[in-house]
Amino acid sequence: MNLPNKLTLARIIAVPFFIAAFILKYYPAALILFCAASITDFFDGNIARKRNLVTNFGKIMDPLADKILVYSALCLFIEADIIRAWMLILILAREFIVAGMRTVAASEGRVLAAGMSGKIKTVLQMFAVIVFLLALCLTKTQATVMLAGNILFYASLVMTVYSGAEYVLKNRDVFSM
């Protein structure tokens, strides 16, 4: 297994430790674990492209690892009353629509590439999670940092809707397969 794929697996393996730290209210540990796992997302893709180590495993598991990491945090944030359930439902609906379209296209031997807006959505989600976790670690400036997290998260929701719509419109011919 090459290094980028090991980094992707490390991100997945980090998730239960992140969840445990959050549930036990060890917010600094949860923040460190989430940041470390998020950083692997940056490195695995860059290393894979620079060293020509792009694999089918990486193409599938890298975005899946991102989703497992981020959506685990969002589930915890619902329970902690940081975000509302409808927000995660909106995000998941977009993901299921895109995954369904990719599955239909793959059944016809076609690969639907991710767009830049989808990547921006993921980055915004990761930064929002980091800022929310940082707010949980603070006492004096918690409200201000939580507000910054909300702004980032709402921006990610806008990008979720935009990137989903863009993806559907760009690949609408999938519906006629």
The residue ranges of every structural domain in the chain are 3-176
pLDDT at 177 over 80: no
Task: Write the CA distances from 130 to 32, 74, 166, 167, integer angstroms.
Answer: 9, 11, 27, 27
What confidence score (pLDDT) does residue 113 get?
Answer: 78
101: confidence class by pLDDT, cuts 50, 70, 90: very high
The pTM of this model reads: 0.92
Q: What element of type H or E holds 6?
A: helix 3-23
Closest Cα partner for 79 from 130, 135, 23, 29? Answer: 23
The reported pLDDT for the residue numbered 17 is 98
**What is the arithmetic mean of pLDDT over 42-65?**
87
Q: Please state the rounded mean pLDDT for residues 71-100.
A: 96
pLDDT value, residue 157: 98
CATH fold for the domain made of 3-176: Four Helix Bundle (Hemerythrin (Met), subunit A) (1.20.120)
- Which of 13, 24, 147, 15 has the alpha carbon at shortest distance from 70? 15
Whole-number pLDDT of residue 175? 85
Q: What is the mean pLDDT of residues 14-26?
A: 98
Type of residue numbered 89: I
**pLDDT category, 176, cuts 50, 70, 90?**
confident
